[in-house]
Amino acid sequence: MKKPWSGRFTHKTSGIVESFTESISFDKRLWKHDIRGSIAHAKMLAKQGIIPAKDADAIVKGLLEISAEIESGKFRFRQELEDIHMNIEAELARKIGPAGKKLHTARSRNDQVALDIRLYLREETEDIISKILQFQKTLLLIAENHIDTIMPGYTHLQRAQPVLLSHHLLAYMEMIERDKSRFADSLKRLNVLPLGACALAGTTLPSDRTFVARELGFKTVSANSIDTVSDRDFAVEFLSCACICIMHLSRLAEELVLWSTEEFRFIEISDEFTTGSSIMPQKKNPDVAELIRGKTGRVYGNLMSLLTLMKGLPLSYNRDMQEDKIPLFDTVDTLKICLEIINAMFPGITFNKKRMSATAGEGYSTATDIAEYLVRKGVPFREAHEITGRIVLHCIKKNIGLHELDLKELKAFSQAISKDIFPCLEPAASVRERSSYGGTSPSQVIKQIRRYKKILS
């Protein structure tokens, strides 16, 4: 089949080169966006008098027919035509004749592919934001149902202070709210029309890029034709947002893995989202959470792949940039399925409230409450910290908990201590009193939940 550049060449392209340079095997998923962009382009060409209106009508009709064929699975993608652009254009010319050969006027594959990727990423980013929103609603509902569930909070994976489970879950709500915001903000830089920059220098023909932008819903038009065809910042930014988002999912998945162990026994994940062992009949493995954690490295790799691809490219377009699509597509697919599956998995998680509450009181987790009690009695914090440390050491040596100390023992460490200290030693009281803004007290967590209900509505 004749190549679009055949006028300059005297020999056919080698078969091995066709196999090496083709991208149709993966960029065919851009067909909807390619056809949509071409229809807008054809309308602009007719509006500007660059091609006759009847030719534009024939082009639009032919493109819609091709769209229906691809949708139904009847369209044959040809490797020798390299990419989605030439596959569609060649079929269009076959269908409608010479008019089809006019479609590529005032554009290049360089700005065409930039358009397709931007249209694709805009659609996928909006879908990802929607999936994040769905997961936030799931988390919020579970947090609301556990406003009275106390668990140990951790630093360094050591028990630290008692917190509410709902407060812990709302920490992830904050993370993915930032993710949602990042993706939404990236749309501002993504939603720029590249079509009309042509190969790198623009065109001598009277094209109307603003018209095309309006047709395709772009907020603005790219300002520099060289930058337009060589830019993949929007793709790098999308991958960066995706990396941060899936990092948060991975951290949550890691906690699900830990919490489901016999050592923690905080949760049980539904059978629907776990697997067994091929040799050990008793096993119930959190494979779904582990795979979310594992796929995070894959998304990181995709970002590094694109950054490495772009780091040494001179202006403007280079064929290296064909390699941007596989990591981009893979990231979209990976992040979307991770969001979908974690959202589906969470409602089936059973929280062991009794175990969480019992564990929250272990490990001298109310020690900070003693120090703050002493501060309220007028003891400087550093002294209060040291006194409390000695109390904890005393308990460790006697192998007892803080709540097992009597008043006489406590007063031996500080005469500022009186019987009103005992409520401070209970995890429930500890949680209840932590009412500073953003703290773990029920009153503060209820405020956080109300705030998110407004945000998510």
pLDDT digits (tens, 9 = 90+) for 46-79: 999 999 999 999 999 999 999 999 999 999 999 9
- Residues 326, 385 within the same domain: no
Active site residue 222: no
Among residues 54, 81, 105, which one ends one of the domains? 105
Catalytic residue among 130, 277, 418, 443: 277
In terms of domains, do 193 and 50 share one? no
pLDDT in the model for residue 76: 97
User: 75 in a domain, yes or no?
Assistant: yes
Residue 343 has pLDDT above 80, yes or no: yes
For 161, counting Cβ atoms within 10 Å of its Cβ (0-12 exposed, 13-18 middle, 19+ buried), the class is buried
221 forms bridges with which residues in the sheet?
A: 193
Query: Does residue 299 sit in the same domain as residue 440?
Result: no
Domain co-membership, 379 together with 283: no
Q: Are residues 271 and 129 in the same domain?
A: yes
In this structure, are strands 158-164 and 192-193 parallel, antiparallel, or unpaired?
A: unpaired
| Structural domain total, the chain | 3
The pTM for the full model equals 0.94
Looking up residue 51, the CATH number of its domain turns out to be 1.10.275.10
The dihedral region occupied by 378, where left means phi > 0, alpha psi between -120 and 50, and beta the remainder, is left
Whether 90 and 122 share a structural domain: no
Q: Which domain range does residue 188 map to?
A: 110-358
Cβ atoms of residues 357 and 152 within 8 Å = no
Q: Looking at residue 9, what is its pLDDT?
A: 62
pLDDT digit string, tens, across residues 198-225: 999 999 999 999 999 999 999 999 999 9
What are the backbone dihedrals phi and psi of residue 200, each rounded to the nearest 5 degrees, phi first?
Answer: -170, -15
Q: Is the pLDDT of residue 5 over 60?
A: no
Is 301 a member of any domain?
A: yes
Residue among 114, 246, 220, 237 at smallest CA distance from 183 = 237
Q: Looking at the domain assignment, is residue 1 inside a domain?
A: no
pLDDT at residue 10 tops 70: no
Q: Residue 127 maps to which CATH number?
A: 1.20.200.10
pLDDT of residue 90: 96
Among 333, 358, 383, the domain-final residue is 358
CATH code, 390: 1.10.40.30
- 130 and 28 in one domain? no
Instruction: Give the burial string for 111-133 (b: 16+ CB within 10 Å, else e).
Output: bbbbbbbbbbbbebbeebbebbb
Q: What percent of the chain has pLDDT over 90?
A: 94
The predicted-structure confidence for 139-148, as pLDDT tens digits, reads as follows 999 999 999 9
403 is catalytic: no
Q: Token digits for 268?
A: 């049980």
User: What one-character DSSP code corresponds to residue 82?
Assistant: -
Indicate the pLDDT class of residue 1, thresholds 50, 70 and 90: low
Helix (H/G/I), strand (E/B), else coil: 285: strand
**Are 294 and 399 within one domain?**
no
Distance of CA 324 to CAs 125, 175, 309, 318, Å?
A: 17, 28, 8, 11
Do 333 and 226 have their domain in common?
yes
Q: Which of 11, 72, 156, 457 is flagged as catalytic? A: 156
232 and 321 within one domain = yes
Going by pLDDT thresholds of 50, 70 and 90, the confidence category of residue 21 is: confident
308 and 331 co-located in one domain: yes
**Domain boundary residue among 105, 129, 151?**
105
- Measured CA to CA, the distance from residue 102 to residue 55 in angstroms comes to 8
Tokens of 147: 């406003």
Query: In the prediction, which pLDDT does 20 show?
Result: 81
Tens digits of residue pLDDT in 419-441: 999 998 999 999 999 999 999 99
pLDDT for 300: 98
Same domain as 380, residue 284: no
